[in-house]
Chain A
Amino acid sequence: MTHDRNNPDRSLAAEFALGVLAGDDLRRAQELVRTDPAFRLEVARWAGRLAPMLDDIEPVVPPGGAWGRIDRSVGELPGGSNVVQLRRRMQQWRGIAAAMTALAACLAIVLVATVERQVQPPAAIQRPSGPPMVAMLGDQGQMKVVASWDPAARQLVLAVAGDMPNDPRHSRELWVIPAGGKPRSLGTMADRKQMHVRLADALAQLLQQGATIAISVEPRGGSPTGAPTGPVVASGALSQA
């Protein structure tokens, strides 16, 4: 007989999947589920082993009103788990982006401090349209995009890391969304790893600190309406480089 005296957690995983635990043992198992992948795997295996018992329960047709309530509550939610997962991944990516931006800011301070000691620039000369900015854009696949904006040259450079999806029926369209404003198209992206766009003054003014750069999937050639019509697959806020 294989008693689990030597492996109490393995026994605990079985007991947790069976649902018999209470009090401190239950809390310990819940903690292990969160922190110990091996424990969680063993719980999942036990859930599978015990699952056939559920076949013994007689099906019961739910009352007619049940579907209506479910349909209505789902109608108010964003559809599909991909959206939720996308958001979670983008939050992670934003965390990384924030760290990189902070690092870039530190480097910039060091650089500026060094340069200022060497040459004193005339106080009057200042770039009229503000400092360069970057936005980190992550999407749900492997593609990551770094957008850097040079206001003086009115040039936006996009560098794509990872796989560019090869999709002949759709275009990826680039947008700027000013804080509190509507999306304005910056054009569609070529299927290349780098993209340079020189922007007209009217558009260039919109690329300010806090504005969002986003990429949406549109019919080939770009949105027919002038506003995004397809899903936004990547976005990120502009901040000072």
Chain B
Amino acid sequence: MDRPPELQANSASKELLDLLSAVSRGDRTAFAELYRRTSAKLYGICLRLLGSEAEAQDLLQEVYVLVWQKAGRFDPNKASAITWLAVLTRNKAIDRLRRPRIGREGIEAAADVEDDSPSAFDIIREQDDSARLGRCLDELDERARIAIRAAFLDGDTYPQLAEREGVPLGTMKSWIRRGLARLRGCLER
């Protein structure tokens, strides 16, 4: 018998939480099941941000090894399991995108990026309403909305965004900063 979609989503989310918690106790079977259920979503994120299949597969491996080692850092009170996994993957992809700039920014910058990136695991979802972000993004100027999405989903930095849009760096920064401030205002309403 079909359950309401909401309940199905809740029970899937509870099952993922149980799997993640079993993984934190070193349960290999749970780990395999977690991979089966989440790898398509995470691989999609890897591919979108990194572009190359080889890089994406390499990152996917890095992420699951991290999950195996650090599943205990997941806090179910702060975010759902799938949100935690997705943001962790995205953060690790960003780390990777920043890495090839060793030549330009020097060895010290590379050392910074290679650091354990402690915040990569910290995600707090204060609202369960995923549609709300979309509504709030729609309230922004088109320029800010496009830039914020490009930054989050394609991993572009301020200089890259400014170049892509053909505007001065300061202009791009002010679009995005204003956009983020309005976004928070809207989300906290």
Binding site for B on A (CB under 8 A): 1-4, 11, 14-16, 18-23, 26-27, 30, 33-34, 40-41, 43-45, 47-63, 66-67, 69-71, 73-74, 77, 79-85
Chain B positions within 8 Å of A77 at CB level = 65, 68-69
Q: Are A62 and B60 in contact (CB under 8 A)?
A: yes
Are A60 and B133 interface neighbours, CB within 8 A? no
Query: Would B105 and A49 count as touching, CB distance under 8 A?
Result: no
Q: How many A-B residue pairs have CB under 8 A?
A: 193
Quote the shortest CB–CB distance from A55 to chain B (angstroms).
6
Tally chain B residues at the interface, Cβ within 8 Å: 78
CB contact between A44 and one of B23, B68, B78, B151 (< 8 Å): that residue: B78
Q: Does B143 reach chain A (CB closer than 8 Å)?
A: no
* B87 / chain A contacts, CB cutoff of 8 Å: 47-48, 51, 54
List residues of chain B with CB under 8 Å of any chain A CB.
Answer: 23-28, 31-32, 35, 39-41, 43-45, 47-48, 53, 57, 60-61, 64-65, 68-73, 78-79, 83, 86-87, 90-91, 94, 98, 105, 109, 112-113, 115, 117-119, 122-126, 130-134, 137, 148-149, 151-153, 155-159, 161, 176-178, 180-185, 187
Bound complex: CA A48 to CA B185 (Å): 15
A74 in contact with B161 (CB, 8 Å): no
State whether A11 touches B112 (Cβ < 8 A). Answer: no
Q: Are A47 and B91 in contact (CB under 8 A)?
A: yes
Q: Determine how close the nearest CB of chain B comes to the CB of A84; give it in whole angstroms.
A: 6
Q: List 28 A-B contacts (CB under 8 A).
A: A1-B181, A2-B184, A3-B181, A19-B155, A20-B176, A30-B112, A30-B113, A33-B119, A40-B118, A44-B123, A47-B122, A47-B123, A48-B125, A48-B126, A49-B184, A51-B86, A58-B44, A59-B41, A60-B44, A62-B57, A70-B60, A71-B32, A74-B64, A74-B65, A80-B71, A80-B72, A81-B71, A84-B69
Additional A-B contacts beyond A23-B105, A57-B45, A67-B39 (16; CB < 8 A): A19-B152, A22-B158, A45-B126, A47-B122, A48-B126, A49-B133, A52-B133, A52-B134, A53-B137, A53-B149, A54-B153, A56-B153, A62-B39, A79-B28, A81-B68, A82-B26
Is B65's CB under 8 angstroms from A70's CB? yes
Contact A19 B60 (CB under 8 A): no
Residues of B contacting A22 in the complex (Cβ-Cβ under 8 angstroms): 157-159
CA distance A18 to B41 in the complex (A): 20
Output the least CB separation between B124 and chain A (Å): 4
Residues of B within 8 A of A40 (CB): 118-119, 122
